[in-house]
Amino acid sequence: MDLKIVGGTVVTDRETYPAEIGVAGGRIVQIAQKIDAEAGQTLDAAGCYVMPGGIDMHTHLDMPFGGTVSVDDFETGTRAAAFGGTTSVIDFAIQGKGQSLTDTVNTWKKKAEGKAVFDYGFHVAVTDLTEAVLAELPAMVAAGVPSFKCFLAYKGALMIDDGAFFRILGKAKECGALVMLHAENGEILDVLIKNALAKGQTEPKYHALTRPPEAEGEATSRGIAIAHMAGAPLYIVHLTCREALAEVKRARDLGWPVYAETCPQYLLKSFDNYLEPGFEGAKYVMSPPLRDKSNWADLWTGLVMDDLQVVSTDHCPFNFKGQKEMGLKSFAQIPNGAPGIEHRLMLLYQFGVRQGRISMNRFMDLVSAAPARLFGLSPRKGAVAVGSDADLVLWDPEAAWEISAQTHHQNVDYTPYEGVSGKGKPRVVLSAGRVIVQEDRFTGQPGTGRFLERRPFGR
Amino acid sequence: MDLKIVGGTVVTDRETYPAEIGVAGGRIVQIAQKIDAEAGQTLDAAGCYVMPGGIDMHTHLDMPFGGTVSVDDFETGTRAAAFGGTTSVIDFAIQGKGQSLTDTVNTWKKKAEGKAVFDYGFHVAVTDLTEAVLAELPAMVAAGVPSFKCFLAYKGALMIDDGAFFRILGKAKECGALVMLHAENGEILDVLIKNALAKGQTEPKYHALTRPPEAEGEATSRGIAIAHMAGAPLYIVHLTCREALAEVKRARDLGWPVYAETCPQYLLKSFDNYLEPGFEGAKYVMSPPLRDKSNWADLWTGLVMDDLQVVSTDHCPFNFKGQKEMGLKSFAQIPNGAPGIEHRLMLLYQFGVRQGRISMNRFMDLVSAAPARLFGLSPRKGAVAVGSDADLVLWDPEAAWEISAQTHHQNVDYTPYEGVSGKGKPRVVLSAGRVIVQEDRFTGQPGTGRFLERRPFGR
Amino acid sequence: MDLKIVGGTVVTDRETYPAEIGVAGGRIVQIAQKIDAEAGQTLDAAGCYVMPGGIDMHTHLDMPFGGTVSVDDFETGTRAAAFGGTTSVIDFAIQGKGQSLTDTVNTWKKKAEGKAVFDYGFHVAVTDLTEAVLAELPAMVAAGVPSFKCFLAYKGALMIDDGAFFRILGKAKECGALVMLHAENGEILDVLIKNALAKGQTEPKYHALTRPPEAEGEATSRGIAIAHMAGAPLYIVHLTCREALAEVKRARDLGWPVYAETCPQYLLKSFDNYLEPGFEGAKYVMSPPLRDKSNWADLWTGLVMDDLQVVSTDHCPFNFKGQKEMGLKSFAQIPNGAPGIEHRLMLLYQFGVRQGRISMNRFMDLVSAAPARLFGLSPRKGAVAVGSDADLVLWDPEAAWEISAQTHHQNVDYTPYEGVSGKGKPRVVLSAGRVIVQEDRFTGQPGTGRFLERRPFGR
Amino acid sequence: MDLKIVGGTVVTDRETYPAEIGVAGGRIVQIAQKIDAEAGQTLDAAGCYVMPGGIDMHTHLDMPFGGTVSVDDFETGTRAAAFGGTTSVIDFAIQGKGQSLTDTVNTWKKKAEGKAVFDYGFHVAVTDLTEAVLAELPAMVAAGVPSFKCFLAYKGALMIDDGAFFRILGKAKECGALVMLHAENGEILDVLIKNALAKGQTEPKYHALTRPPEAEGEATSRGIAIAHMAGAPLYIVHLTCREALAEVKRARDLGWPVYAETCPQYLLKSFDNYLEPGFEGAKYVMSPPLRDKSNWADLWTGLVMDDLQVVSTDHCPFNFKGQKEMGLKSFAQIPNGAPGIEHRLMLLYQFGVRQGRISMNRFMDLVSAAPARLFGLSPRKGAVAVGSDADLVLWDPEAAWEISAQTHHQNVDYTPYEGVSGKGKPRVVLSAGRVIVQEDRFTGQPGTGRFLERRPFGR
């Protein structure tokens, strides 16, 4: 036995109980009241929860966007994530015009290789659907990439039309993939943005005002209807508002296989942040935008009642200096995205678990177990079970923290959560049985992360 | 006094009472228990309802479509309509690619002039939105054409994108127009049609199978959401199914100004008709297609509860011989449309009023008063009120009829209602105080119909 | 011809047009552009709307309640109503324990005879259902009382159980009556009231806090479900809140014959009024109580979209001095009710029509035409039609008013609307062709009102 | 180590993985890839799932009803249950008129002591609420009985009024109990039953026809509304139809803590069974009754989407001979109830898992993990986790079975599932580490079952 963890309380998405855990060959080999066997290393988890590491299935590391590139690569990004208790990411490989999907995924694999400090997978985003690309989809599934992302927003760039979306869904159903949807009506946004710019409305807040929640609600409704016509399941990414949530509920009440995630920023930040003085609002320019605070309670209810299954980050960091500032003259030139990969578990623990909105088990489901189940990683990831990867976190529920760009590990010059404080963070983080973070020190190695070949959806 | 009508029972959308009606100058000048004044002509309405003539606000007379032209022009079409108790039509002037709207409406005015036997108006269908066309919309309203039709179906032909639709709605709101929507998702239909043809599925029934009700439900939902974002009212044309009706109800429950019509064919015919032997199914090829019979009860409920406000015909006749037969090798080549302008009131009276589904007053609302109110003709049309045009029908509730292409007055070689029989039809029909049909004889004159300058919506 | 009205604009629930009206024998005999015939009296309606008089179908005149009696009797109450443009009432004859319904209605007829200044009808409230009473219901319909009221509130007094309610509905369906429901869960209220009093919570506001909107929503839902099981139509009286409205909408979306009214106080006053200093809150003690202001917009939407069909008053006046004060030590001893019979049309015109929430035609429907249709008085009442009773109001849309107990005609020492001002009130009021109010002077006679034998529901 | 289980695949409500399980002192002490320690007994689970035993939280053993007593006592009932893989029951201790709750539970404890072959708990049914009984509720929770059942049906017997129900909910919220509701409107049923009997409608099918699904929907709606007013969670027992399910969905969409169970009979049997020849229909007389088959799909969807959380049996067996026959002359005299405790897991596995409606993990949740979580037994029961009771089943997915009263172990002379066959049943069943069933032989001992002191709800 390589390692054992003693003295802690195991927490999964369903159970909480005291036990010792034995690890060998990077996997959990034993869970017991008492492990008698010797181990190369013993970790004392006294006062800690022992739980599966987080899975962040919505990240954009080293991603080109709007003439620049997101500033966390697979090394800085996964390292920062590890500090927060996340031990796997699924990043988006985004097809370029005319590019094959195989080439797309290979491009992203090269970004990750030699850099990632823990395991990683990819979704592939289909932005240019040809017959050849359609034919390529089953090979993606076979290659361990069983999730395809589509955009109904970003007209003239990433957006595809309803027909292409429908065809992708039809093929996904055949080959066992889960289609993921960015649901905003890009046609409407395009008119609103042009109208705003024509009126000289260029400040950051107009980013939000030209992307109304109704346009997200509409695209969510449409996406669900089209998925239903195709007979395929659907996963809505970064859902932000009651308009969209109502559509997800309606579908689920009918028994349709529709799933959705939200992100910490939509639970904790709001439209008001766009009104911060000067150009500060640019820090929050992301798509969909932050919404009115009145949505928070609806989203928390969605998380409690399982109408929302996952909390991911949509981590897509751009420096305020030099990058966000590209949009000083026009919100339409601000790179879309914000950092968050490091703080997801801490924020959800503090504002969810500690403040009584969700249970500890539900917390584990949202950040780890559900992503594993939906994206073909269960029970290898997201579980504390014999045979599972020893991606484990010793979580100290009383450890205090305060977020600041001065001290965070993300490679970006600001954080939307500057000054936010709370309790509960990792004491030790293991990836495949190796300690990669201990007492706020990084002890891992770039390049030790492995590409995750994920199973088809529902199989 | 030019004419008086005695002995009848006046029926409007709200009241039923015995009274005499006096007409002068083409208008109603008196309603009284007893009219003492002399009149040039006296009509005996004993045993009859005296009611406002029908308004058919969805017709396609003399319309080019798919390389051919609908076979009723403004003379044959309005004359046939008059036989059935309809005394006004609002026809669709359909913009050609690059054509101005003014030119479009003028083109249609020329089709009607000298031909129509009663008054007529136009909606204008916007199929090619440029800045110039957008700027032209207020002039349409000013010219008495305050209703704009948009298509979310017919990809590559009449379909416009969501952005164009949104811009039209925004302009319509400003200038007081009601936007009308053909709600089917043309992108999805296009994929389904191509898939079907690729598989050799060419018979008429595939017309329906490639236009599923879910695609109508989706487009209805989307159209409503976009209208709501624009702050504009919306009118859904030819609603056929519960999926679409549910969306209308949802909007109306929220207090949104959303309206909808259905047509007799969707209440009385069904998908089963596409299965008639040989090529007979082609007779029912229209868009949206006929649906499963289970929708009938939902549509009737919608009519009763005012979630559907209007029954129109979508009269668009093509001969079976020579025209429908263009699609012998492929349903996609069958001209879309079917006749019905003559029989709307008779069918709705028989299957609605006589069979106890709707009241006599509701009948009048659906076929006459509501179209007048929604489309800027009230109280000139759709009412039995002092000052209103004397477009009146003496309706004999006991007169029996049987529909047949052998005897109907429509200029087309078949009818979807062949052999259907019932009771209740006009004994006398007046347009602007002139008797144009009496005891099944036409006594009117082509060209006496006037262009109706309609008022803006809601004003 | 006894009388003609010239120079005005006729307004009904559907139409608006200039016309002259001729009256003979108490009824409208002619509507014309110009009436040539001589008339005994000519009223100049220049600048006025000529419209059907209001019908207040929810009043409690001369009613015993909680050891006292409402202070307006049929003379003072109908006279006050006439000043405000109301020309008919339907009052509630309330069965005493062990009393027959025939006796109940006769008791109320005696209250009205010789006193009422315009026509009146009765609903009968069934509070003690025996086999004999059940058997008596058809006779009520035959006697012109085709509406039965049931209470699910007032435990130990007026409340009946679900079984009795169900049996009444079943009988009502057979004999053509419309059942009216006071929808609050009396069992829950009873617990809440006892709990409050046990805690010494005795001020007027606790009247509202012990009758939560959820208890109204629940009883509305239950009432509708039971009516549906009985196959009978249902009319919800004095609906106050979104919880109840949602249930009505849900039923109507299903096509169920469910109707509802609200009252001006629920559109214009709120829970805040209970917080007025001293014992002032007692003025607003009625059941259901005033609600949070956020309900106002929902109720207005309900009125616009026809989910609410009627605005009545629930006029039930008790003097502040001596009557309301019976509850100085406990809200549970305050007589329930407030005055309003005089101001319904003025308030709804000012805050509905003038402030742009509803159209003039919709106003007429809510206060006159719809009550007539639903309660078996159409087209005799609620219409401007040949043959209808000449219950007409010449409404001056520019006449200013301010409400005060100092000047109102109700026989009560306060009004909830003290100091409220607006424009639009009657210049002349006719009942059955007789002028009963002219320029703020009463010209009618007590005892001229007739008992209205109403027709069965839907016949 | 007392016992180890090797060669099997562990299945819980969330995970599926191969592992060995070690048991000592009646509890699970180790889960490992390979257990090296010696064990007193080794069970070979090759080809089997190793899963937590079923928890049947709705049984009526040894229960007096309608002048007779259910025929399975705690010995025969738990033994039969064990044959089917159930290892815990929670039975209903039903208060008699005037009886204290302590006495009630003690009465039921005596029924179980010395008889039960595995662990058992009790819910207490409150049928006669006095101040004393209300005050007794917290003591019930303290004594390990944190679930109170209320009946809105059985007028004149078990039914309580809305006020009593509301008070129980309020107290339950304070002391941490979950209120369980039999949701049918007993007032309506009482009228319908009397009406039917008055018409001579006495056959078994009238049992169902006098208990319409709308009456269940209504009571479910009401129960939820009252629980919401009390701020308390609610659990709906034996939900049967879409009317009731819609109410549960509506509540859950709002985030309200509402839960519900259904039973195998409502998924597999229908109203048609009441039409079986002779008096056979009496076998299916239970409350609520079997419904139209069209409800099956809705219920399965509810189970999949977690709108229904539990499948229990409502096992309440009466012999056809002598007991059911008490109602030969009137369905109202047939004892309500049917057997099923033995076959719950087999039926749900066959028709749920094998037929592809639910996953294996969902199956475990419905029959074991969810009851444990909701009723204060987790993680002691319902889990395969270190520290949990070794209530384990070795489930052979390929073992074939056919149900027959000839061979079943229930002490009753018929089964509703006579002749039903399928695959999947226990090979070995353990209760607290002891083998109580092995290869279809019972190896346990009456009286070894322990009373389960359950934790308060949500704590």
Question: Residue D34: exposed, middle, or buried by beta-carbon count in 10 A (0-12, 13-18, 19+)?
Answer: exposed
Name the nearest CA neighbour of C55 among C24, C23, C91.
Answer: C91
Residues D20 and D125 in one domain: no
Strands (E), D20-163: 20-24, 27-32, 41-44, 49-52, 54-59, 64-65, 68-69, 86-94, 119-125, 147-151
Which residue in B22, B301, B379 is closest to C17 by CB distance? B379
The pLDDT tens digits for B119-155 are 999 999 999 999 999 999 999 999 999 999 999 999 9
The pLDDT tens digits for A275-327 are 999 999 999 999 999 999 999 999 999 999 999 999 999 999 999 999 999 99
Taking CA–CA distances from D307, the nearest residue in chain A reads A253
Residues B389 and B317 in one domain: no
Residues of C in contact with D215 (CB under 8 A): 229
Give ∠ CA C356-C359-C360 in degrees, rounded to 5: 115
The pLDDT tens digits for A190-214 are 999 999 999 999 999 999 999 999 9
The pLDDT tens digits for A209-251 are 999 999 999 999 999 999 999 999 999 999 999 999 999 999 9
Residues of C with CB under 8 A from a CB of B: 10, 12-19, 22, 29-34, 36-37, 249, 252-255, 301, 304-307, 369, 378-379, 383, 385-388
Check residue C352 and report its DSSP letter.
I
* Integer CA distances (angstroms), D214 to C132, D210, D242, in order: 28, 11, 9
pLDDT of the residue at D66: 83
R_g (Cα) of chain B, nearest Å: 21
Q: Is the peptide bond before A288 cis (omega within 30 degrees of 0)?
A: yes
Which residue in C163, C218, C225 is closest to D191 by CB distance? C163
Residues of B in contact with C10 (CB under 8 A): 385-386
* Residue in C1, C377, C386, C459 to test binding to B, most B beta-carbons within 10 Å: C386
As a whole number of angstroms, the distance between CA A78 and CA A81 comes to 5
Which residue in D166, D222, D228 is closest to C222 by CB distance? D222
* Tokens found for residue A324: 């966000």
Check residue C252 and report its DSSP letter.
H
Residues A144 and A8 in one domain: no
| Segments in chain C below pLDDT 70 | none
As a whole number of angstroms, the distance between CA B316 and CA C380 comes to 43
Residues B401 and B333 in one domain: no
* Residue in D13, D14, D357 to test binding to A, most A beta-carbons within 10 Å: D14
pLDDT of the residue at C458: 87
Strand pairing class (D64-65; D68-69): antiparallel
Tell whether A73 is covered by a domain. yes
Average pLDDT, chain A: 98
The pLDDT tens digits for D160-178 are 999 999 999 999 999 999 9
Question: Residue A434: exposed, middle, or buried by beta-carbon count in 10 A (0-12, 13-18, 19+)?
Answer: buried
* Residue in D245, D247, D301, D386 to test binding to A, most A beta-carbons within 10 Å: D386
- Asked if C304 and B379 come within 8 Å (Cβ–Cβ), the reply is no
| Segments in chain B below pLDDT 50 | none
Residue A458 has pLDDT above 90, yes or no: no
| Lookup result for tokens 């110039």 | B132
pLDDT of the residue at D208: 98
Min Cα separation A212/chain B (Å): 8
- Asked if D222 and C226 come within 8 Å (Cβ–Cβ), the reply is no
- Asked if C226 and D218 come within 8 Å (Cβ–Cβ), the reply is yes
Min Cα separation A234/chain B (Å): 16
Taking CA–CA distances from B169, the nearest residue in chain A reads A188
Which residue in A14, A17, A373 is closest to D369 by CB distance? A14
pLDDT of the residue at D269: 98
Tell whether A75 is covered by a domain. yes
Tell whether D453 is covered by a domain. no
Tell whether A455 is covered by a domain. no
Residues A45 and A119 in one domain: no
As a whole number of angstroms, the distance between CA C200 and CA A82 comes to 58
Range of the domain at B346: 53-374
Residues D362 and D424 in one domain: no
pLDDT of the residue at B193: 98
Residue range A405-410: mean pLDDT, rounded = 98
Residues of A in contact with B190 (CB under 8 A): 163
Banded pLDDT at D459 (limits 50, 70, 90): confident
Residues of C in contact with B384 (CB under 8 A): none
Tell me which of D323, D346, D374 is where a domain ends. D374
* Tokens found for residue C429: 């009021």
pLDDT of the residue at C302: 98
- The CATH number linked to D22 is 2.30.40.10
Tell me which of B324, B345, B374 is where a domain ends. B374
Banded pLDDT at A123 (limits 50, 70, 90): very high
- Asked if B31 and C30 come within 8 Å (Cβ–Cβ), the reply is yes
Residues in CB range of D19: below 8 A, 6 or more apart: A385, A386, A387, D8, D9, D10, D31, D32, D33, D50
Tell whether D449 is covered by a domain. no
As a whole number of angstroms, the distance between CA A274 and CA A286 comes to 11
Phi, psi angle pair for D165, to nearest 5°: -60, -45
Which residue in A163, A187, A229 is closest to B162 by CB distance? A187
Residue range D18-38: mean pLDDT, rounded = 97
What is the number of structural domains in chain D?
2
Residues of B in contact with C383 (CB under 8 A): 14-15
Helix or strand run (H / E) with residue D425: strand D421-431
Residues D83 and D162 in one domain: yes
Helix or strand run (H / E) with residue C401: strand C392-402
As a whole number of angstroms, the distance between CA C131 and CA D408 comes to 50
- Asked if D31 and A33 come within 8 Å (Cβ–Cβ), the reply is no
Name the nearest CA neighbour of A332 among A207, A209, A210.
Answer: A207
Residue A66 has pLDDT above 90, yes or no: no
The pLDDT tens digits for D400-416 are 999 999 999 999 999 99
Average pLDDT, chain B: 98
Taking CA–CA distances from D257, the nearest residue in chain A reads A305
| Lookup result for tokens 């010995």 | D75
Chain B with chain C: Cβ pairs closer than 8 A = 91
Chains touching C by CB (3 or more pairs below 8 Å): B, D
Taking CA–CA distances from A190, the nearest residue in chain B reads B163
| Lookup result for tokens 């204060």 | D376
The pLDDT tens digits for B160-186 are 999 999 999 999 999 999 999 999 999
Q: Do chains D and A touch (3 or more CB pairs under 8 A)?
A: yes
Which residue in A10, A252, A379 is closest to D15 by CB distance? A379
Min Cα separation B357/chain A (Å): 30
Residue D202 has pLDDT above 90, yes or no: yes
Residues D223 and D88 in one domain: yes
* Residue in A131, A184, A191, A224 to test binding to B, most B beta-carbons within 10 Å: A191
Residues of B with CB under 8 A from a CB of A: 155, 161-163, 166-167, 185, 187-188, 190-191, 212, 214-215, 217-218, 221-222, 225-226, 228-229
Residues A143 and A185 in one domain: yes
Taking CA–CA distances from C254, the nearest residue in chain B reads B301
Residue percentage of chain A with pLDDT more than 90: 99
Min Cα separation A146/chain B (Å): 23
- The CATH number linked to C297 is 3.20.20.140
Residues C46 and C63 in one domain: no
Model ipTM?
A: 0.96
Tell me which of C348, C374, C400 is where a domain ends. C374
Tell whether D448 is covered by a domain. no
pTM: 0.97
Chains touching A by CB (3 or more pairs below 8 Å): B, D
Residues in CB range of C2: below 8 A, 6 or more apart: C23, C24, C25, C39, C40, C41, C433
- C40: amino acid identity, one letter: G
Residues C297 and C394 in one domain: no
pLDDT of the residue at A51: 98
Min Cα separation C254/chain B (Å): 8
* Residue in B188, B190, B250 to test binding to A, most A beta-carbons within 10 Å: B188
- Asked if D17 and A386 come within 8 Å (Cβ–Cβ), the reply is yes
Tell whether B176 is covered by a domain. yes
Size of chain C, expressed as the number of residues it contains:
459
Residues C325 and C248 in one domain: yes
Chains touching B by CB (3 or more pairs below 8 Å): A, C
Tell whether D447 is covered by a domain. no
As a whole number of angstroms, the distance between CA B196 and CA B193 comes to 5
- Asked if A22 and D15 come within 8 Å (Cβ–Cβ), the reply is no
| Lookup result for tokens 């003259």 | A329
* Integer CA distances (angstroms), A236 to A148, A163, A266, C113, C339, in order: 12, 18, 14, 69, 54
Residue range D295-323: mean pLDDT, rounded = 98
As a whole number of angstroms, the distance between CA A313 and CA A149 comes to 16
